[in-house]
Structure 1
Amino acid sequence: MVAGILPQTIGKLKMLSRALLSGNQISGQLPNTIQHIYRLSDLDLSLNRISGPIPESLGKMAVLATLNLDGNMLSGTLPATLINSGISILNVSKNAIEGTIPDVFGPKSYFMVMDLSYNKLKGPIPKSIATASYVGHLDLSYNHLCGAIPAGSWFDHLEASSFTNNDCLCGKPLRAC
């Protein structure tokens, strides 16, 4: 069991490729210095007590492919850098992230898993998500999203549970708009 805060000096671990620290008692904010760990491909800090915003710099990391921050106390908005990056597994569910989902999806967006459920996100699902290279598992449930679910091949395989408990989402697989 690891307890306490992540030190600013974590960025000196330049050769670290995986940081799997789920289910500990890590608290405080995520240090921006994590961006200096240039070989980091998997960062799992889920089920801790981390608070504050998600640093934009995480989406700018060269090889970061898995980012699990679910089950913390993160707040602020979802950085646009996480959407159009090399991250293919993004889980920030069960936090207090608010604002809108950034409308910056593009060909570089490739998500095997994108779980943004159980947050305070509002507004529509961005139309640019249809331009993503791939979206496998998507969970946007338990937010405050509203509007039409974008049409596209990425949404054909999704079930209603991916969109439930939002303010006013409509369209396939939910009720018609």
Structure 2
Amino acid sequence: MDNKIHSTLLFSLLFFITHLANASSKDQCNQNDKKTLLKIKKSLNNPYHLASWDPKSDCCAWNSLECDDATVNRRVISLTIFSAQISGQIPPEVGDLPYLQKLVFRKITNLTGQIPHTITKLKYLRFLRLSWTNLTGPVPEFLSQLMDLAYLNLSFNYFSGSIPSSLSLLPKLEYLELSRNKLTGPIPELFRSFPGKAPDLFLSHNQLNGSIPKSLGKLDFYRIDLSHNKLKGDASMLFGTNKKTWTIDLSRNMFQFDISKVKVAKTVNLLDLNHNGITGSIPVQWTELSLQSFNVSYNRLCGPIPKGGQLQRDGAYAYLHNKCLCGAPLQRCK
């Protein structure tokens, strides 16, 4: 009889421990984060895209987010909502996920409004991508408060106004893309003073105007794309053999400078200068470049095209509509 009681008690104890373990493992995510996520879902009108966000289940198992690796009380560190049928604005509650490191709203064409100020509460945010949406308004100055930010992409939106110079205060910024918006005004002079190394800079397809600040010549951009704007004047300061530039695209602007003595870093892989007012002759030094893409068409270049390297690889297309360029792949020089 005693053995029977002992066995029954042991079984009951094991059942209780197992039930307790299952209950604790059932929902490991932080409950405050869970409440915030449910508010975000409600604010977005409970879209089908977030159907897995069931209050009865562990939020760390929900789609579109990621928790840290802690065994208990796991915090949400990533929220990525991509290509969803969602209408509305970015919920201000995203600022109530205090451990968030990555925030993405991408390819959501019915997402409107402006970037909420509450985003400044995300002190650990490293990656912010709000692209291919219908966001409007200015690029907020308050983004400069996100001191851990390394990646910022606001491309393919309808942001207007000038580029805030305060973005140059971000000490860890490695990638800045504001292309495909309606931004106006010049490139900020303060962009010369990024605290770390110069970030990859993509500002194409806007309505930026004015001259490039000469002080930007002191920076070593790995990738820079200023194409499809209304920029003018001298851009030669962006070049230099002492730099480690990989791609440089200045096409479809109104730049005017003599390229004859411009030396390009041997690391350059893409060089696109088409549709400007650039003068002079192509330097022989450019034959030393391992170019995979090259275009100087629609300028005012003159003289013989140097032979060798990759300068003939893209054919006549790369040289069309210049004043008096000659030599292969164009007609023979007289």
Amino acid at match of 1:148: D
Query: Partner residue of 1:48?
Result: 133
| Structure 1 position 126, deviation (Å) | 1.3
Query: Partner residue of 2:149?
Result: 64
The equivalences for 1:71-90 within 5 A come to 71-85=156-170, 86-90=172-176
Query: Partner residue of 1:125?
Result: 212
* 1:141 is the counterpart of 2:222: no
Query: Partner residue of 2:97?
Result: 13
CA distance in 2, matches of 1:94, 1:128: 25
Q: Which has the higher contact order (CA 8 A, sep 6+)?
A: 1
* 1:100 is the counterpart of 2:164: no
CA distance in 1, matches of 2:199, 2:127: 14
Pair 1:35–1:71, CA change in 2 (3 A): same
Query: Partner residue of 2:197?
Result: 110
Check conservation: 1:76, 1:98, Cα contact below 8 A. Answer: yes
Pair 1:157–1:45, CA change in 2 (3 A): closer
Q: Secondary structure at the match of 1:23?
A: strand
CA distance in 1, matches of 2:236, 2:158: 29
Gaps of 5+ in 1: none
The number of aligned residues is 174
Check conservation: 2:168, 2:194, Cα contact below 8 A. Answer: no
Amino acid at match of 2:255: C
Amino acid at match of 2:212: I
CA distance in 2, matches of 1:29, 1:22: 15
* 1:32 is the counterpart of 2:85: no
Q: Secondary structure at the match of 2:217?
A: helix
Please give the root-mean-square deviation of Cα atoms over the aligned residues, in Å.
2.1
Q: TM-score, normalised by structure 1?
A: 0.87
| Structure 1 position 102, deviation (Å) | 0.4
| Structure 1 position 139, deviation (Å) | 0.2
Q: Secondary structure at the match of 1:57?
A: helix
| Structure 1 position 21, deviation (Å) | 1.6
| Structure 1 position 109, deviation (Å) | 4.9
Check conservation: 2:139, 2:161, Cα contact below 8 A. Answer: yes
Query: Partner residue of 1:163?
Result: 250
Pair 1:74–1:168, CA change in 2 (3 A): same
Pair 1:45–1:62, CA change in 2 (3 A): same
| Structure 1 position 89, deviation (Å) | 0.6
Amino acid at match of 1:16: L
| Structure 1 position 83, deviation (Å) | 2.8
| Structure 1 position 60, deviation (Å) | 2.9
Check conservation: 1:84, 1:109, Cα contact below 8 A. Answer: no
Check conservation: 2:231, 2:253, Cα contact below 8 A. Answer: yes
Check conservation: 1:60, 1:81, Cα contact below 8 A. Answer: no
Tell me the alpha carbon deviations over residues 119-139 of structure 1, each in whole angstroms, 9 at most, x when there is no partner. Answer: 01000111121233x311100
Higher helix share: 2
Amino acid at match of 1:34: I
Q: TM-score, normalised by structure 2?
A: 0.48
